[in-house]
Amino acid sequence: MDGLAAWRSGVSWTSGSCPRAPFASSDHKASCDPCEYMNDGCPFLVPTKRAILCLVHKGGSTTWKLALLRAQKQARRYHRLQRSPHSRPPSGNTALDFTAAAQNRSVPRLMMVRNPYSRILSAYLDKVVLQQTRKLWPSSLKYGTVPSKNRTVPSFRDFVQAVTGHSEILNRHFQPLSNLCLIDDGTGALSHRYDFFLKVEQMERWYLPFVRLLGIEPTLRTGWNLTTHWWKAREGRDCFYTPLHVSCADFHGGAREVARTSKGMSEDASKGAATPASFHATQADGKLGRYYDVELAAAVTQHAAADFKTFGYPVWDGLDARAYMLRLRQER
């Protein structure tokens, strides 16, 4: 959305009750109260109290939680990136703080989003192939014929059919993003609750303004060249994120604007974005052509129809995945 026009709609949140149990334990559509916990699919007030943010499953949420927690003044426990960032409350924030921020029109509301094709594939590669988290799968999905670790797992085709043909409430990893972050409260899409949707495919474009808005850029400039269970170092780089072929010093130092050629962006599209990575990362953006065909792309298009409308993503026909990803990164 443009600027802070959404605030002038008069829509506001109330905190409701604020249970201590993690919101992530529920799979119901939009069944969360905004609260102090940083749980995927639920808006929260960032530790610096400068914005309301909603992170989403398979949209880089693990790494961004690490960044937000590490940026806190008393962040020693998160400094070595060995502690789970999930279901953690930002230091000092309460449900009352959230309510006050939600009623303050100067506090921006932001949501990170990802194109449905990459997100569904990433969920499959992470929760079915790599982690084999059976309890999260649709009930109709059974172990299949694709070798993985010490057993076989369902094919991507079987997975898409189970997700798109379901008659049950899906785990949030597999639900459309328009079901999450309190976008729809049952009365129709309320995307105007958010001032900006941050497309992960375009992180290069919004990253610096975003981290400066939150006041966490100093934390992200250095100290990230280590690998743990929760964080993977990126090619020896010491900062949280840079575009491909750009040094941390150039990117954060403001020595020059980061100019990208079509050739460079095409390379990004074929490899997958150079985004921060946790052990959940699957590089799904660069694998669309390997897993999708026309039929599967059409099934995901129908399954996530509201996402295309709400977040402005173009529909893909299942052909030329590289060109599709390049289009996402270049679109304004």
Q: Give the pLDDT confidence score for residue 211 in this predicted structure.
A: 96
- Angle among Cα 75, 127, 175 to the nearest 5 degrees reads 90
Q: Give the pLDDT confidence score for residue 14 in this predicted structure.
A: 42
For residues 54 and 40, give the distance between their C-alpha atoms in angstroms, rounded to a whole number.
7
79 compared with 252, residue with greater pLDDT: 252
Q: Give the pLDDT confidence score for residue 63 in this predicted structure.
A: 92
Please state the rounded mean pLDDT for residues 18-26.
Answer: 31
For residues 27 and 170, give the distance between their C-alpha atoms in angstroms, rounded to a whole number.
7
Question: Residue 293: which pLDDT band, with cuts at 50, 70 and 90?
Answer: very high
What's the token pair of residue 4? 């802070």
- Checking if the pLDDT of 265 tops 50, the result is no
Which residues have CB under 8 Å from 79's CB, separation 6+? 70, 223
* Of 58, 55, 91, nearest in space to 76 by CA: 91
130 compared with 295, residue with greater pLDDT: 295
Please state the rounded mean pLDDT for residues 248-265.
Answer: 62
- Checking if the pLDDT of 20 tops 90, the result is no
For residues 203 and 205, give the distance between their C-alpha atoms in angstroms, rounded to a whole number.
5
Question: Residue 275: which pLDDT band, with cuts at 50, 70 and 90?
Answer: low
Choose the weakest-confidence range: 24-38, 118-132, 231-245, 285-299: 24-38
Highest-scoring range by mean pLDDT, 49-53, 140-144, 328-332: 49-53
Please state the rounded mean pLDDT for residues 36-55.
Answer: 87
Q: Give the pLDDT confidence score for residue 133 in this predicted structure.
A: 83
User: The tokens 């997700």 sit on which residue?
Assistant: 163
Question: Residue 229: which pLDDT band, with cuts at 50, 70 and 90?
Answer: confident
End-to-end CA distance of the chain: 12
- Checking if the pLDDT of 281 tops 70, the result is yes
For residues 307 and 111, give the distance between their C-alpha atoms in angstroms, rounded to a whole number.
13
Q: Average pLDDT over the chain, rounded to whole?
A: 79
42 compared with 20, residue with greater pLDDT: 42
- Checking if the pLDDT of 313 tops 70, the result is yes
Each residue's pLDDT tens digit, 23-39: 233 333 334 555 557 88
Of all residues in the chain, the percent with pLDDT exceeding 90 is 42
Residue 219's Cβ-count burial label (10 Å; 0-12, 13-18, 19+) is buried
Query: How many Cβ atoms are within 10 Å of 188's Cβ, its own excluded?
Result: 8
Q: Give the pLDDT confidence score for residue 4 in this predicted structure.
A: 32
Each residue's pLDDT tens digit, 147-197: 776 778 889 999 999 999 876 788 899 999 999 888 865 544 455 678 999
Q: Give the pLDDT confidence score for residue 278 in this predicted structure.
A: 64
What's the token pair of residue 156? 């991507």
pTM: 0.83
